[in-house]
Amino acid sequence: MAWLMPTLLALLLGTTGLADQFHQALEASQQGRFAEALGLWDGVIELAPADSAAWSNRGNVRLALGDPQGAIADQTEAIRLEPEAIDPHLNRGTAEEALAQWDQAAADYNWILERQPGEAAALYNLGNVAGSLGDWPAARERFEAASLAQPGMAMARSSAALAAFQIDELETSEKELRRLIRRYPLFADARAALTALLWQQGNAGEAESHWAAASGLDERYSDPQWLLQVRRWPPEPVSALQRFLALDGGQA
């Protein structure tokens, strides 16, 4: 999610107290103190109801607190106040994804890409939408576009490799995952993905080595529900990793 700074209008009209409360709310949000942040954003909006950034930031907090419908309402108000702002569309799309509103999320991301074709976050999120709809070739295309738009976006490259795994382009997937690991040795996602791929190919020894690193870096990779619903891995790599963890041995 994208956190927004105060709008110019709010800065021009605001008081020192309002500016202080805005920054307190932003700090609490960025530090994950969401319940506290929600109250602070309520206060900011009461003082500056025309500040689109405050509405969008409160929407992010509401999503983090498990209220995607409230988040969508806040992002929609931010868009009403500042129709050409990019971030509220990105944030609203994320909330729409949480409700499996794939068409609405795609519309928000495509709205961004019509104006900024190289917006990496919109490209990446659109890849997640395509994957959620089972269109992994399209997802891979979007992930690759995101990584080209933002070369340091390692998660986009890993997601593209996972999509290649899903559509059985294992050699391509393996090469990209190995390149990622060489570049980012502590990147748990690529190591966990390579674990699954190597196990599927029958290379148990090296799979064990990469898993030792991945699990030490981030234990969430052993949870299939987290992989599918939060990290948004494709189903075949998740299944392969679960077979590895169950030590059932053998290939798909």
d(CA 153, CA 157): 7
d(CA 181, CA 190): 6
How much of the chain exceeds pLDDT 70, in percent?
Answer: 92
CB atoms near residue 130 (< 10 Å):
21
Token code pair at residue 48? 């500056």
In 14-67, which ranges are continuous DSSP H helix? 16-30, 34-47, 52-64
Mean pLDDT, the chain, integer: 93
**Nearest alpha carbon to residue 236 among 201, 186, 185:** 201
Q: Tell me how far CA of residue 148 lies from CA of 96, 104, 121, 124, 204, in angstroms.
A: 26, 25, 12, 11, 33
Q: What is the pLDDT of residue 4?
A: 60
Which domains does the chain carry? 1-116 (1.25.40.10)
In residues, how long is the chain?
A: 252
- Confidence class for position 7, pLDDT limits 50, 70, 90: low
pLDDT digits (tens, 9 = 90+) for 42-81: 999 999 999 999 999 999 999 999 999 999 999 999 999 9
Q: What is the pLDDT of residue 3?
A: 53
pLDDT digits (tens, 9 = 90+) for 11-38: 444 556 788 999 999 999 999 999 999 9
Sole residue written with tokens 């109801």: 49
CB 122 within 8 A of CB 97: no
Q: What is the pTM of this model?
A: 0.89
State the burial class of residue 159 (Cβ atoms within 10 Å of its Cβ: 0-12, 13-18, 19+).
buried
Judged against a pLDDT cut of 90, whether residue 99 lies above it is answered with: yes
**Nearest alpha carbon to residue 211 among 197, 226, 225, 230:** 197
